[in-house]
């Protein structure tokens, strides 16, 4: 049987809903999870059949503790762990709880809104909603900070290579590691910088999204620290699907960072560079304006596995 992955490599859509749920204990949990897995498959199939051009999908990730609680398999995906905080001299990549993560996206907001309703109806008796964020496309894929987000994403076949597990973990081939963080931005402090100062924080031009040369780009810029290499000098990438969100009336603005990868160690190396620094102490300057308030690791099973879990 061919391996069918969940839709982890699609490009960002105009509308997105992110949801994180925490499972309760109880005799109904196992049956509810089986129904949930079947529902996720049905929601995706229905959206594709009804609106094939909508680019709609729902991707579900499962956390470490949920995997244990649900007794899904005695052998876990090799890098599925409970994320431990990464603490630097000034900033910390915090660790927060989360059992199930849902990433719903579509060009038509009505589709994912209805998907979220169906998922919530099924989970409400056995779980608690601990996070819900409605993201949106901001201009030409820019974050609220005003810079284009996701420029370093891989394209074409590289998206599958960097986002999906390969032969190194055959039992979970086609799956993906999903790491998420909710960032809140200090927009007053950010807007207090000149455009030139902002560009030095990011490492790119604001208007045209052109990366600075290595001779000009500060070593603590976001681009300098978030772009990482392996031991042999090969470039390591993740598939980002970040989305901005905000509430103008309360002056709250943020970015939901979401990364799919074939190995969590790649994402962890990037986070260590950002929060601890390379060398240590030379942390990512963007963290002076963007605070991570969540941080959770999930595993995204294949559609085949969802079918098995559904019973």
Would you name the residues annotated as active-site residues? 149
CA separation for the pair 245, 264 (Å, rounded): 25
CA separation for the pair 57, 37 (Å, rounded): 14
Closest CA to 195 of 213, 185, 208, 214: 208
The whole-angstrom distance between residue 6's C-alpha and the CA centroid of its chain comes to 14
- 3-class secondary-structure state, position 236: strand
Residue pair 177/297 in contact (Cβ under 8 Å)? The answer is yes
Query: What value, to the nearest 5°, has the Cα angle with vertex 96 and ends 94 and 102?
Result: 120
Closest CA to 22 of 97, 96, 94: 97
DSSP code at position 278: T
Express the helix, strand and coil content of the chain in percent, nearest 5 each: 30, 25, 40
């Amino acid at each position: 049987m061919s391996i069918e992955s969940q839709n982890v490599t699609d490009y960002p859509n105009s509308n997105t809903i992110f949801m994180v749920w925490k499972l309760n204990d109880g005799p109904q949990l196992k049956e509810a999870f089986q129904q949930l897995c079947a529902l996720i498959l049905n929601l995706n199939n229905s959206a594709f059949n009804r609106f094939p051009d909508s680019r709609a999908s729902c991707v579900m990730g499962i956390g470490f503790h949920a995997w244990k609680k649900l007794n899904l398999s005695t052998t876990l995906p090799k890098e599925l762990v409970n994320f431990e905080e990464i603490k630097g001299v000034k900033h910390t990549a915090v660790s927060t709880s989360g059992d199930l993560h849902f990433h719903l996206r579509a060009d038509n907001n009505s589709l994912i809104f209805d998907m979220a309703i169906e998922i919530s109806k099924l989970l409400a008796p056995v779980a608690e909603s601990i996070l819900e964020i409605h993201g949106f496309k901001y201009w030409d894929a820019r974050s609220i900070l005003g810079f284009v987000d996701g420029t370093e994403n891989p394209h074409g076949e590289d998206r599958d290579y960097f986002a999906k597990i390969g032969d190194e973990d055959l039992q979970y081939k086609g799956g993906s590691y999903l790491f998420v963080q909710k960032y809140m931005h200090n927009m007053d402090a950010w807007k207090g910088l000149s455009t030139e100062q902002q560009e030095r924080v990011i490492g790119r031009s604001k208007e045209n999204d052109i990366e600075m040369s290595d001779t000009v780009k500060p070593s603590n810029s976001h681009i300098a620290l978030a772009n990482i290499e392996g031991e042999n000098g090969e470039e390591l990438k993740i598939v980002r699907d970040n989305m901005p969100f905000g509430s103008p009336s309360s002056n709250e603005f943020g970015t939901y960072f979401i990364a799919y990868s074939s190995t969590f160690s790649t994402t962890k190396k990037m986070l260590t560079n950002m929060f601890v620094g390379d060398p240590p102490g030379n942390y990512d300057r963007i963290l002076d304006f963007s605070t991570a308030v969540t941080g959770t690791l999930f595993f995204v099973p294949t559609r085949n596995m969802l079918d098995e879990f559904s019973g």
